[in-house]
Chain A
Amino acid sequence: MSSETDTTVIARTVVRVVVPIILLTAVALLLQGHNLPGGGFIAGVLTVTAFALVYIVFGREFLQRSLLHVEEDGFLGGAIGEYGRTFTFGLALAASAGVGSIVLGELLDDGQFEFLTQGVVFVYHVPVYHEIEIPTALFFDLGVYFVVVGALLTILAVVGRE
């Protein structure tokens, strides 16, 4: 770490406090996304915002080597490769979100469910959160979340390398 371009102690301390709050907001927006404003896209954007703060204030080396434990190497390896795999996983999850009902209908053997049949599960007595609503739309939202995180972090890492 060169002392010439180091950020100040104030910036480092503020980022240390703010990043968990941003990630918590992202998770809250992801969980309420099916019946209130929020959802996969804005949760992904907020997660990338937290990563971008660490990129800006602590530097690329710190994030990729100390937090993500990936070694720096070529264009498609290392951290950028990880982001690309996140993107691919999210795309696969979002694409297969509607197919799950067909598979479940075959397994449960009580009649065929149509493509994109919906359902919801309520989980009660969760500490702090009290009640979590898990609809099948959450899996599509999770796919969108991983797509946004992977795509934006790839852009950030590639542009930051230059």
Chain B
Amino acid sequence: MVSEPVSGTLGLLVVGGLVVASLVTLAAGYRVVRGPTTPDRVVALDVIGTNVVAIALLFALVTGQGLFVDVSLVLAIIGFISTVAVARYVTEGDIIE
């Protein structure tokens, strides 16, 4: 699953996307540290998870290696279930009834 790395204009766009996703992750990290309430922190952590998924996918494009797509797939699944669990904890108080 190794293919040619992207180059040219698309390559520049992908690197730009990597920079933007990294900056958004840093901004969300600030919200995780400062966030006054628990839902703020939860949403910021979810944003970080989604951005790491995006970074893994863009990195798969940069390096041309398909195995990073698996990384992003598994990260997306784990991020989804953690969001569901925390949402249930915030609203109900317990996770498994």
**Chain A interfacial positions (CB closer than 8 Å to B):** 5, 7, 11, 18, 22, 25, 29, 36-38, 42, 46, 49, 52-53, 55-57, 59-60, 156, 159-160
Contacts and interface: CB of A to CB of B under 8 A. Distances in A.
Contacts of B71: 37
B80 interface: yes
B25 to A, nearest CB: 22
A148 to B, nearest CB: 14
Contact of A37 (B67, B85, B92): B67
A7 B89 CA distance: 12
B77 A160 contact: no
B55 to A, nearest CB: 17
28 contacts: A7-B88, A11-B84, A18-B80, A25-B73, A25-B74, A29-B70, A29-B74, A36-B67, A36-B70, A37-B67, A37-B71, A38-B70, A42-B74, A46-B74, A46-B77, A49-B77, A49-B78, A49-B81, A52-B81, A53-B81, A53-B84, A56-B84, A56-B96, A59-B96, A59-B97, A60-B96, A156-B96, A160-B96
B27 interface: no
Closest 3 CB pairs of A and B: A160-B96, A59-B97, A37-B67
Contacts of A160: 95-96
Contact of B92 (A5, A25, A159): A5
B97 A60 contact: yes
Main secondary structure of the interface of B (DSSP, over half): helix
Given A7-B88, A38-B70, 11 more contacts: A5-B92, A5-B97, A22-B77, A46-B74, A49-B81, A52-B81, A56-B81, A56-B85, A57-B84, A60-B96, A159-B96
A56 to B, nearest CB: 6
B57 to A, nearest CB: 15
Contacts of B84: 11, 53, 56-57
B1 interface: yes
A18 to B, nearest CB: 7
Contacts of A49: 77-78, 81
A57 B96 CA distance: 8
Nearest to A60: B96
B81 to A, nearest CB: 5
A134 B67 CA distance: 20
Contacts of A56: 81, 84-85, 88, 95-96
